[in-house]
Amino acid sequence: MCLTHLQELQKAVVTAVSGNQELLKRLASMGLCSGTTVRMLKARKKGPLLVECKGTYLALSYDIASRIRLEPAQAVL
Amino acid sequence: MSAGTHVVALAGQPNTGKSTIFNALTGMYQEVGNWAGKTVEKRTGQASRQDGGYAVIDLPGTYSLDALSQEERIAADFIKNYSPDVTVVVASAVSPQRTLHYALDVIMLQKPMVLVMNMADIARGNSQHLDVENISQKTGVPVLLLSASRKQELGQLKQAIAQALKVPPVPKHIVPELASGLPEGLKRSFTALVQQVCDVSGFTRMRSEILVWKAMEGGEEERDILRSTVGEDAAWVQNDLLVQPYVQQARYGWLEEALGTGSTAPASSKTVSYDRWLLHPFAGALAMAGILLLSIIVGFGLGFPLALKIGQTSQALEAIASAGIPQDMIVTKALFTGTWRGVGAVLSMLPFIMVFYAVFAVLEDIGYMARAAFIMDRAMTRIGLNGKVFIPLLFSMPCNITGIMGCRTIDDQRMRKLAVLLVPLVPCAAKLIVLVSLASWLFPPLQALAVVFSLISLNMLILGGCSLVFGRFIPRQSSISGLLMELPHYHRPNIRTISRQVFRNTLAFLKKASTLIVSFSVIVWFVSYYPGGSIETSLMGQLGKYLTPLGAPMGADWRLITSLLASCISKEAVLATMGVIYNTPIGALPATLKATVSPLSAIAFMCAQSLFIPCIATLGMMYNETGSCRTLAVVISYTILLPFIVATAVFQIGSMVAATY
């Protein structure tokens, strides 16, 4: 599953991030890398997404989010 | 900074309250400049004498020290090569894992450091618990938990720095612990490679371990060293897709151990519940429109009367002051009037700019600005930009100079270039004043409102169009594009941080704008006065008359063209120039204009005015920030061509419509 498919308020664990090294490192330094649990806060069709990971709120473009693969975890709320 | 003074560097990620700590450590003794040869702001300051009088250098706030961007390279180089006596790393107690990720980069440089976990009050409010002892033990450096916004808690930081200057605390060598978090296979390859580097290069084990680890993390410099020492045997290190995820996991695993449980933020923080509404697709957009409208009302409501007062006072004083200069001393008179009016223009813009700075500083400080960028991202993407560009464009509204300076915050080079090109299309406060004044003089209230509203909308449409066109000419640098930004936790505004921000920005504006505006206004005053002593006979008037054929298609006579030309010193000069050209006192100008300018010509003129070349100070600032004559040439040529084309179109279409009815 891809981050863009995560429903609002659901959690999942990142399994892989594809893209160039620069993006990988940038995301990791902002708290998002494989093994991280993310929670979707705002999901809009084709728009930017807001996720929470490691106590940080990250806004990601749809393009970047579509490069983040997940394995679904339990639903919250 | 005199020789022998201790140097303390301040490092950390954005949104950790690093600036608050910098302000608290240095008090009033601050200097703002640029890092040598870069457009990255360098802030330096000095601690008070009783605290030790050491110099404090604020390093750029970045997410890592990976040297991917200019800012990161500066920070990394400074700690590595300049070797400050102590580096104070600021992390956030609210998002400890992510902000300590940066601290690991500094720890690996093996230079003396002190670690500050800031925003302890918010963390306590979230019932997040940090085991400071354990972090200190794992890192080997002093760790302080405090809230920099509370003055009384800073004493312990000052003490810790003083202590660290006496006995420098060097961090523990953590790479072996990090490496133990790698999967078995990778761990074996790591150990083998370290051994090989030790054998071949004669480096110590510690140095080899750091070298290999940094290379695995993607460090280009370290990879070069590996290539030149062990060659092909280190090739696997560069397989980013295979190695990086595990390296990052090991780092975060180590941090989790250091932080213990209970440090993570709760699922339902205040920020999340505010954002449910403030980032809602409809309610959020509505709230943003409301907040921005309110800031504009406050900005103009407070700024306009003050600007008017300053303008009137400076005019009244000019008459008195210039009375002593004999009529025939043209050069003296030009110098005097030019300088006077230039200073007057800067001063009368000041209240606007300060009020807007204050409003925006509050929005920034509480954490709202990033939300505005998030909300606008979708619309901005449509015109080939992203949400981050919205903020400097918004800052262009009080004054284009501020907008140009704001473009620094955009990390994507391509976006930054585009933003600088587009700033002149945002009508600044001065352009808006001219627009509103003319509309209210020439049209009945409701029509005036409609005219202003449609002209601003037209401006925005043109901005969008230009963005798409310019975007085609600026090549994309990376295949991945779009928004990637942190939305900070909301927090209460800190008056000290805000007032300092306003003060700093105002000072920067005054320094940069005043010299440019004043010197150029002398020149422009001269060409609008010489020869003959009146604008009609002057060089500028002659140019205006010479350009009359060009003005005809957009319904402008020589007087309107000359007024337009005069607007390149400063936009608010337009009305004063009109007063001179139409030979009427400012008070009678509305009636005179109504009698001589047709409504359609007026609209076309307003249209041209709001798109016309930015003032000379903005152009100067643009050159300052980009250092590129090409950018300047592009801006000047499109802001001359575009208003001409658009105003002509407006006038011609308007005339056709008028003829049919």
Q: In what order do the strands lie in the sheet with A56-60?
A: A68-75, A10-17, A37-42, A49-53, A56-60, B484-487
Identify the burial level of B198 via C-beta atoms within 10 angstroms of its C-beta, where 0-12 means exposed, 13-18 middle and 19 or more buried. middle
Sorting pLDDT into bands at 50, 70 and 90, what band is A75?
A: very low
Are B156 and B59 found together in one domain? yes
Structural domain for B25, as ranges: 7-166
Kindly compute the dihedral angle of the four CA atoms of residues B245, B251, B255, B261, in this order, to the nearest 10 degrees: 30
* Domain A3-75 falls under CATH 3.40.640.10: no
pTM of the predicted model as reported, rounded to 2 decimal places: 0.86
With residue A39 as reference, give the H or E element that holds it: strand A37-42
> Which residue in B487, B489, B491 has the most chain A C-beta atoms within 10 A of its own C-beta, making it the best mutation to test that interface?
B487
Q: What one-letter code names the amino acid at B613?
A: I
What is the Cα gyration radius of chain A? 11
Asked, for residue B587, whether it belongs to a domain, the answer is no
Asked, for residue B20, whether it belongs to a domain, the answer is yes
Are B198 and B141 found together in one domain? no
Are B12 and B67 found together in one domain? yes
Are B148 and B179 found together in one domain? no
| Residue reference for tokens 């300060």 | B354
Question: What size, in residues, is chain B?
Answer: 661
Q: Return the sign of the alpha-carbon dihedral for residues B221, B226, B228, B233.
A: negative
To the nearest whole Å, the CA of A50 is away from the closest chain B CA by 9
**Interchain contact, A33 vs B218, CB within 8 Å:** no
| pLDDT of res. A74 | 53
DSSP percent split of chain B into helix, strand, coil, nearest 5: 70, 5, 25
- Angstrom distance (rounded) from CA B140 to CA B135: 8
Closest CA to B372 of B497, B236, B483, B225: B483
Sorting pLDDT into bands at 50, 70 and 90, what band is A76?
A: very low
To the nearest whole Å, the CA of A17 is away from the closest chain B CA by 8
pLDDT < 50 stretches in chain B: 1
| Chain B residues near residue A27 by CB distance under 8 angstroms | 484
User: Cβ contacts of residue A27 below 8 Å, gap of 6+?
Assistant: A17, A33, A64, A68, B484
Q: What one-letter code names the amino acid at B463?
A: L
Q: Which of residues 209-228 of B touch A (CB under 8 A)?
A: 217-218
**Interchain contact, A64 vs B482, CB within 8 Å:** yes
| Chain A residues near residue B277 by CB distance under 8 angstroms | none
Asked, for residue B581, whether it belongs to a domain, the answer is no
| Chain A residues near residue B381 by CB distance under 8 angstroms | 61
Are B46 and B189 found together in one domain? no
- Angstrom distance (rounded) from CA B136 to CA B462: 56
SS3 B498: helix
Q: Which of residues 258-317 of B touch A (CB under 8 A)?
A: 264-265, 267, 271-272, 275, 279, 281
Are B162 and B180 found together in one domain? no
Identify the burial level of B183 via C-beta atoms within 10 angstroms of its C-beta, where 0-12 means exposed, 13-18 middle and 19 or more buried. exposed
Are B407 and B495 found together in one domain? yes
Q: Return the sign of the alpha-carbon dihedral for residues B363, B365, B366, B370.
A: positive
SS3 B112: coil
Are B236 and B320 found together in one domain? no
Q: pLDDT (tens digit, 9 = 90+) per residue, B379-410?
A: 999 999 999 999 999 989 888 888 998 888 88
Asked if B521 contacts B318 with a C-beta cutoff of 8 angstroms, the reply is: no
- Angstrom distance (rounded) from CA A28 to CA A26: 5
Are B221 and B327 found together in one domain? no
| pLDDT of res. B479 | 58
Degrees to nearest 5, angle at CA B343 with B338 and B348: 125
Asked if B41 contacts B70 with a C-beta cutoff of 8 angstroms, the reply is: no
Closest CA to B91 of B172, B12, B165: B12
Asked, for residue B48, whether it belongs to a domain, the answer is yes
- Angstrom distance (rounded) from CA B409 to CA B391: 9
- Angstrom distance (rounded) from CA B96 to CA B543: 64
Asked, for residue B49, whether it belongs to a domain, the answer is yes
**Interchain contact, A59 vs B485, CB within 8 Å:** yes
What is the Cα gyration radius of chain B? 29
SS3 B41: strand
Are B84 and B162 found together in one domain? yes
Q: pLDDT (tens digit, 9 = 90+) per residue, B6-50?
A: 999 999 998 898 988 998 898 767 777 777 777 788 889 999 888
| Chain B residues near residue A47 by CB distance under 8 angstroms | 377-378
Q: Which residue in A33, A50, A52 is closest to B248 by CB distance? A: A33
Asked if B14 contacts B59 with a C-beta cutoff of 8 angstroms, the reply is: no
How many angstroms separate the first and last alpha carbons of chain A?
20
Are B223 and B139 found together in one domain? no
Q: Which of residues 387-446 of B touch A (CB under 8 A)?
A: 387
Asked if B149 contacts B120 with a C-beta cutoff of 8 angstroms, the reply is: no
ipTM score: 0.92
- Angstrom distance (rounded) from CA A8 to CA A10: 5
Read off the tokens for B331.
Answer: 């050069």
- In this structure, the strands spanning B41-46 and A56-60 are unpaired
Q: Which residue in B66, B97, B483 is closest to A55 by CB distance? A: B97
Last residue of a domain, one of B225, B259, B293: B259
| Chain B residues near residue A8 by CB distance under 8 angstroms | none
A73 touches chain B (CB under 8 A): no
Q: With left for phi above 0 and alpha for psi between -120 and 50, is residue B79 left, alpha or beta? A: alpha
Identify the DSSP state of B69: S
| Residue reference for tokens 């009146």 | B534
B110 alpha-carbon distance from chain centroid: 33
SS3 A60: strand
Maximum Cα interatomic distance, chain B, rounded to a whole number of Å: 92
B69: nearest CA partner in chain A? A22
H helix runs in B530-598, sequence order: 539-546, 548-551, 558-566, 573-581, 589-596
Last residue of a domain, one of B114, B139, B166: B166
Q: pLDDT (tens digit, 9 = 90+) per residue, B183-234?
A: 999 999 999 999 999 999 889 999 999 999 999 988 888 999 999 998 888 8
| CB neighbourhood size of B615 (10 A) | 30
Q: How many folded domains does chain B comprise?
A: 3
User: Cβ contacts of residue B466 below 8 Å, gap of 6+?
Assistant: B421, B422, B425, B638, B642
Are B398 and B353 found together in one domain? yes
A62 touches chain B (CB under 8 A): yes
Q: What one-letter code names the amino acid at B553?
A: P
| pLDDT of res. A77 | 42
> Which residue in A13, A15, A23, A29 has the most chain B C-beta atoms within 10 A of its own C-beta, making it the best mutation to test that interface?
A29
**Interchain contact, A29 vs B97, CB within 8 Å:** no
| A7-11, A61-65, B106-110, B617-621: least confidently modelled range | B617-621
| pLDDT of res. A38 | 93
A45 touches chain B (CB under 8 A): no
